[in-house]
């Protein structure tokens, strides 16, 4: 298949591109490089030994999207492009709604105009908001607690309405839990600008000696060791989930489906730090500080639906996640 990956130069998009290339698909990456760098193309080439088609553009440029969809004979789109920092979205809601929601509307216009109607969308477990029960299945009520999550929910609702309006669309919504880890080669991974907001990249930098200690945001939650519990999923498993979703869409009638992509297993902050220390062989100093505003005690998926309908499940372990993230972090230090 010819697949367009919006936001394909980013963390999850680049891993998915590597897998699609390995499986013999042709990919076009379209990215405005607002949170990624062009160097990822050389690294994808080194991994795949394939030429990568890249377009530097913004998804709000509908005419560019139309040209790419037609010119590259695109069969399906995986839509990763978006802004994703929760705290930033509270400060800059207009930018988030414009980029994420208007960007998606632009993409849908271009797809409709060019008759490409197969779409996989990167959503997030953040659409569930505060869990009313665990594990979270897809029927759990939605109720995001920040503008970033609202943009994801609005997009899901737009996609649902679009699928209902025209029975040609094949749309899969993938609600990711906490993606972590890196490509086996050590060439692709997550390297946020500035001080990381998320736990795993922060821990990796402490292990590398670039930051002094991890601040554990609260140890008084109602969890086994008092620290927050999340469903961390290896980015390589997540990439495989996209391939499974494309396979599902190709063999089923048009429609709109929602899937959790998680492992079903929660780990605490303390367990994550211990696992990373074991994988890296480095000490990881930590200090318990107050809770981070807006955090919840526990969040993990019921991944049954994806297993049953997509034939997909996460296979890689916490040790795999930490070892691959450490390999990537170590390579960064060398380059």
* Residues that are catalytic: 148
Of the candidate spans 13-21, 34-42, 183-191, 197-205, the one that interacts with ligand WQD by CB under 6 A turns out to be: 197-205
User: Hey, which residues between 84 and 143 contact ligand NAD (CB under 6 A)?
Assistant: 84, 99, 103, 122, 124
Which tokens sit at 79?
């839509």
Is residue 204 a contact point for ligand WQD (CB under 6 A)?
Answer: no
Whichever of 142 and 254 has its CB closer to ligand NAD, that residue is 142
Residue with smallest beta-carbon separation from ligand WQD? 228
Binding residues for ligand WQD, rule CB under 6 A, total 18
Q: Is 171 helix (H, G, I), strand (E, B) or coil?
A: strand
CA gap 69, 188 in Å, rounded: 26
Is residue 96 a contact point for ligand WQD (CB under 6 A)?
Answer: no
Give yes or no for a contact between 324 and 275, defined as CB atoms under 8 angstroms apart.
Answer: no
CA gap 139, 184 in Å, rounded: 34
Q: Which of 228, 241, 262, 264 binds ligand WQD (CB under 6 A)?
A: 228
Q: Among candidates 162, 173, 170, 174, which has minimal Cα distance to 255?
A: 170
Q: Which of 1, 25, 35, 254 binds ligand NAD (CB under 6 A)?
A: 35
Q: Which does 295 bind (CB under 5 to 8 A by kind): ligand WQD, ligand NAD, none?
A: ligand WQD
Whichever of 7 and 186 has its CB closer to ligand NAD, that residue is 7
Q: Omega before 96 cis (within 30°)? A: no
CA gap 123, 261 in Å, rounded: 10
Q: Which of 67, 131, 158, 217 binds ligand WQD (CB under 6 A)?
A: 217
Is residue 149 a contact point for ligand NAD (CB under 6 A)?
Answer: no
Q: Which does 41 bind (CB under 5 to 8 A by kind): ligand WQD, ligand NAD, none?
A: none
Give yes or no for a contact between 199 and 267, defined as CB atoms under 8 angstroms apart.
Answer: no
DSSP symbols for 192-238 = -SSS-SSHHHHHHHHHTTSSS-EEEE-S-SSSSSSS-EE-EEEHHHH
Is residue 31 a contact point for ligand NAD (CB under 6 A)?
Answer: yes
HSE-up (13 A, CA, CB side) for residue 25: 24
Give yes or no for a contact between 241 and 261, defined as CB atoms under 8 angstroms apart.
Answer: yes
User: Hey, which residues between 153 and 192 contact ligand NAD (CB under 6 A)?
Assistant: 176, 179
Q: Which does 230 bind (CB under 5 to 8 A by kind): ligand WQD, ligand NAD, none?
A: ligand WQD
Give contact residues for ligand NAD (rule: CB under 6 A): 7, 9-13, 31-36, 58-60, 80-84, 99, 103, 122, 124, 176, 179
């Amino acid at each position: 298949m010819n697949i367009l990956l919006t936001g394909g130069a980013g963390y999850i998009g680049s891993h998915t591109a590597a897998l699609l290339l390995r499986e013999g698909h042709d990919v076009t990456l379209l990215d405005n490089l607002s949170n990624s760098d062009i160097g990822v193309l050389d690294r994808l080439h080194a991994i795949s030994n394939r030429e990568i088609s890249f377009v530097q553009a913004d998804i709000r440029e509908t005419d560019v999207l139309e040209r790419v969809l037609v010119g590259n004979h695109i069969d399906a789109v995986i839509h990763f492009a978006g802004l994703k920092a929760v705290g930033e979205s509270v400060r800059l809601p207009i930018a988030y709604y414009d980029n994420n929601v208007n960007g998606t509307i632009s993409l849908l216009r271009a797809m409709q105009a060019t008759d490409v109607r197969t779409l996989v969308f990167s959503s997030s477990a953040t659409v569930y908001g505060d869990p009313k029960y665990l594990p979270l299945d897809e029927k759990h009520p939605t109720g995001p607690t920040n503008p970033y999550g609202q943009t994801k929910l609005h997009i899901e609702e737009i996609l649902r309405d679009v699928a209902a309006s025209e029975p040609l669309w094949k749309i899969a919504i993938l609600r990711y839990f906490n993606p972590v880890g890196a490509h086996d080669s050590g060439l692709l991974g997550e390297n946020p600008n500035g001080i990381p907001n998320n736990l795993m990249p922060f821990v990796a930098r402490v292990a590398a000696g670039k930051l002094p200690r991890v601040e554990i945001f609260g140890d008084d939650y109602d969890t086994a060791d008092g620290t927050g519990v999340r469903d961390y999923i290896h980015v390589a498993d997540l990439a495989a989930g996209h391939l499974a979703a494309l396979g599902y869409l190709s063999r089923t009638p048009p429609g709109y489906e929602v899937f959790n992509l998680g492992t079903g297993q929660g780990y605490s902050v303390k367990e994550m730090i211990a696992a990373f220390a074991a994988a890296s062989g480095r000490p990881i100093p930590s200090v318990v500080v107050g809770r981070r505003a807006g955090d919840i005690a526990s969040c993990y998926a019921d991944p049954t639906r994806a297993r049953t309908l997509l034939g997909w499940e996460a296979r890689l372990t916490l040790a795999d996640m930490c070892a691959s993230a450490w390999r990537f972090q170590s390579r960064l230090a060398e380059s």
